Amino acid sequence: LRDNDVQIWLMLGVKSKAMQTNLDPDDRELQHLDSRSGAVCSKSATLQPRDGNEHPRYIELEGEAGSCSVNSEGLPNAGIGLYTDVSVLRRLKDIAVPSGKPYILSISGLSLNENLSMLDGLVKHPETLHYLNAVEVNVACPNVPGKPLVGYDFPQLADVVEKIACHAIFSPPHNVALGFKLPPYFDVPFFDAVAAMLNPQAKSRGGALGYVVCCNTVGSALVVDVDSESTVLHPKGGFGGMGGHHVRLIALGNVRQFRERLDPSIDIVGCGGVSTGEDAFAHILCGASAVQVATQHRVEGAGCFARIAAELQALMQRKGYRRLDDFRGKLRVR
């Protein structure tokens, strides 16, 4: 698995299950995907292939409690053509997801029109749709120079949510599931405003929106090397998106804030600092239907899924829980 073109999801929910990773046509790499993760999700795709930002653009910082990552990748990806190539998807199904794990296509066009063009292209390829379970629209990438994050530009976000949710691919006869990957928010009026944009698109109100991911990296993190008195990452003046253990509490807060505001038919995928079964438990307790693992996967490899699942199961057993629904969303407030 190359560089940090990698975002792995461990999904433990019943409905939403996904693993996001760089998809490579090389079978050797696909073998790595044969894991205990719940599903496979592509690297966020753009219409055309992109090299991304200059290196160094990823760093991992080890702490006693867990690892933290900062990346400024800038959407390096092979272009949507690869992630929707039927021969690649067929191999992916054979090798990585033999048990019928869902395949989720993540897209992160550099404009609304680019996202809509990618969706238009999918509608024209029914064979690809056969392999595709969901499209996840990433409105949270902080790393493309000159492109402020859509999820923080509310007029733009409202337009994107409405126009994407109305796309034909999410309606009969295609019925592909729709998700949005959100950035972290930090104050009540922001959660209120975003929930107000998302709720009209809920399934229960006749809309297409199946889930949101809370949350992407925390942007504008700056890694400083004291010896050389310089930034560590090269792109964007050294700023990047922070993930891993250090963002765990922010992610839990976002899951909880959105669970309190979103229509119950919109699932929440918890993402941020999941490296143990206890972390996964906390996300689910705050209302997540499933969780994503990124930094820890990079640190540990695909074996992290089986370990985290086993730890979660052991914790549930100690507590006398048999199903995720026994504790999902049931966080007690003192």
Contacts to ligand DHB by CB under 6 A = 44, 52, 73-76, 108, 138, 140-141, 143, 216-217, 241
SS (H, E, C) 140-159: CCCCCCCCCCHHHCHHHHHH
Distances (CA, A) of 96 to 110, 276, 302: 29, 23, 11
If the CB atoms of residues 216 and 275 are measured against ligand DHB, the closer one turns out to be: 216
- Measured from the CB atom, the residue of 24 and 73 that comes closer to ligand DHB is 73
Shortest Cβ distance from residue 294 to ligand DHB (Å)? 9
Q: State residue 313 phi and psi, 5-degree precision.
A: -65, -40
Among 3, 315, 297, 284, which Cα is nearest to 143's?
A: 3
Q: Which of 141, 271, 286, 304 is catalytic?
A: 141
Minimal distance in Å, beta carbon 52 to ligand DHB?
Answer: 6
From the CB of 334, what's the least distance to ligand DHB, in Å? 33
107 by Cβ neighbours in 10 Å (0-12 / 13-18 / 19+) ranks as: buried
Distance of alpha carbon 111 from alpha carbon 153, whole angstroms: 13
CA atoms within 13 A on the CB side of 94: 9
Closest distance to ligand DHB from the beta carbon of 74 (Å): 5
Residue closer to ligand DHB (CB basis): 239 or 281:
239
Rounded CA-CA distance 255/266 in Å is 12
Neighbours of 65 (CB within 10 A): 11
Least distance between ligand DHB and beta carbon 143 (Å): 3
Nearer of residues 32 and 181 to ligand DHB, judged by Cβ: 181
3-state SS, 261-315, equals: HCCCCCEEEEECCCCCHHHHHHHHHCCCCEEECCHHHHHHCCCHHHHHHHHHHHH
Q: Which is nearer to ligand DHB, 41 or 122 (by Cβ)?
A: 41
Annotation marks residue 304 as catalytic: no
Residue nearest to ligand DHB (CB): 73
Specify the residue, 217 or 276, whose C-beta has the smaller distance to ligand DHB.
217
Peptide bond before 173: cis, by omega within 30 degrees of 0? yes
The residue type found at 23 is L
Q: Minimum CB separation from ligand DHB for residue 184, in Å? A: 11
Just list the catalytic residues: 141
